[in-house]
Structure 1
Amino acid sequence: MLCSIVLALCFISLCQCEEPKSCSQFYYVDKLLEKMIRIELKGETLDKEIADTNSNVHLTLDELKRERDNFKNEIMEFKNLMKDFKINTDSFIGTMENKFLGFKTETREIIKNMATPNVVFKARTVKDKSPSKGETIIFQDIMFNYGKAYDETTGVFTVPVNGTYLFTVQVCLNNNKSFYYGIVSDYDVHTSGVFHDSTATICYTADATMRLDVGQKVWLKCLYGSPSGDVFYEYTTSTFNYWNTFSGVLVHV
């Protein structure tokens, strides 16, 4: 390509000489060298521009690569932050849920402890109307028994919950009969006395308040033997009753 350019320049230079005879060999050589130098200079300039362009392109590409890497790093950091945020958020939510559940449990326990359980019973109808000394008076017909603590087969109340209890008894005696009674807890007498009236059939009442623990037992006991014959009187009509009863209630835990 360069040779073709040189030959073309030589041809042009020869054609521009009006008097070929007067143009010396050195004249053409000078012209040819001058043109070649100009072409070489332009080529060098073009090469420099191309080199500069390539350098700028490489610099730009390197810069883009760095920006791309920085962007990727920022994306990864953002993902890690979001992951940490999610973990921390889940942990926070889990902690709050556990605290809330614990609070609910504690609140329920407090309310449960504050509320007095429904423990109350009442039974009537004495099984043995002529009890002997030391005998437990069994009231065999249950009127109600919330808490299932009274046993109508033994006449004994077994404490289901620690607390303060109130027990009451009513006994109706036949004329001229006596009944020596004791309301006892685990064989400790809490209330005792004697019921007697020689003039008529009368019902008497007695009560006892006790602070008891789970498992303790309470019953009505005959402290002394009675004369022969039925001591207790039972009578039921649609309008009037002579009932022998034993009842108890949990007052406070």
Structure 2
Amino acid sequence: MFAHIVLLVTVCAFVSSSEPECSRFHYEEKTLEKMIKTEIYVDKIKSETENMQQKMSDKLDGIQKAWKKTERELKDAIEDNKKAVQEIKEEIDVSTTQIPVVAFQSYFLKEITVENGQTLIFTKTVYDKGLGYNNGTGVYTTPVSGAYLFSVQLCIQVDKFVYVEIVHEDVTIMKVRLVDEGKTYHSCSTVTGVAVLNKGERVWVKSRLSSTGENIWRSPNSVWNSFSGVLINKSD
């Protein structure tokens, strides 16, 4: 009987001593601990994910705002470019319409013997837009203020010469020596000059020095001795 009692006590003590490791309460405690750790980890992952999503959303908002700003700036630049092109076009249109057609050309020199200091008179007018040339006096009167281009062509007799000037109000625009030294052909030469003139100023061609006798070759069917001019820009 005593042996049975000792055995029973021993078994109970063994069961009692191993209960903390094997009992249902210990398992539930460990499980709860794991669940709590898992929940904390999940909350951490969730928080980090939310932070990352927020950062990505902020970056996306920034990109969208930057694109909208760039789009507005691009539209503004396109509009500014259109306005600039339109302004340039309007300036060109205005400048074009402000320049009137002013030009003349006359030929057939009245005298074939040009003397020193003589005004050269070209008697046949081809056109005169602006009505400035007088083919009776050889003088051109500017109808508007601006920059003018004048041109004179003379054909010189063989072995003769003429010094001529384009002048306005006795001020020289251009001077040149025309000569034929070939002793075979009557050579023709052209001289041009540019001047900025006021309305009403006079321009003509003058001989400064020349050889004696007939020194101009006149053959209207073959060549022209001529005087012409054109307004190239109107003054304000």
Q: TM-score range by the shorter chain?
A: 0.5 to 0.7
- Give the total of aligned pairs: 141
- Structure 1 distance, partners of 2:116, 2:160, is 15
- Give RMSD over aligned pairs: 1.8
Whole-angstrom CA distance in 2 between matches of 1:203 and 1:172: 4
Aligned runs of 1:143-158 on 2, under 5 Å? 143-158=126-141
Output the TM-score relative to the length of structure 2: 0.57
Distance in 1, matches of 2:211 and 2:199, equals: 33
CA deviation after TM superposition for structure 1 residue 226, in Å: 2.6
Cα drift, residue 112 of structure 1: 8.2
1:161 alignment counterpart: 144
Correspondence for 1:122 among 74, 99, 105: 105
CA contact (8 A) 2:167 2:205 kept: yes
Name the SS for the 1:153 alignment partner. coil
Q: Which runs of 5+ in 2 are unaligned?
A: 1-89
Deviation at 1:111, TM superposition (A): 4.3
* Superposed structure 1 runs of 4+ greater than 3 Å apart: 110-114
Structure 1 alignment gaps of length 5 or more: 1-106
Give, in whole Å, the separation in 2 of the partners of 1:152 and 1:213.
21
Q: Conserved in 2, the CA contact under 8 Å of 1:173 and 1:232?
A: yes
Rounded Cα–Cα distance in structure 1 between residues aligned with 2:115 and 2:143: 29
Structure 1 residue matching 2:231: 3-state secondary structure: strand
Q: Deviations over 1:78-112 (max 9, x none)?
A: xxxxxxxxxxxxxxxxxxxxxxxxxxxxx9xx948
Equivalent AA in structure 2 for residue 233 of structure 1: W
What CA deviation, in whole Å up to 9, does each residue of 1:2-54 have, x standing for no partner?
Answer: xxxxxxxxxxxxxxxxxxxxxxxxxxxxxxxxxxxxxxxxxxxxxxxxxxxxx
TM-score by length of 1: 0.53
Aligned partner letter, 2:218: E
AA partner of residue 246 (structure 1)? F
Aligned residue among 227, 231, 237 for 2:212: 227
The answer (yes or no) to whether the contact 1:130–1:226 under 8 Å persists in 2 is no
Shift of 1:207: 0.4
Shift of residue 131, structure 1, vs aligned partner: 1.8
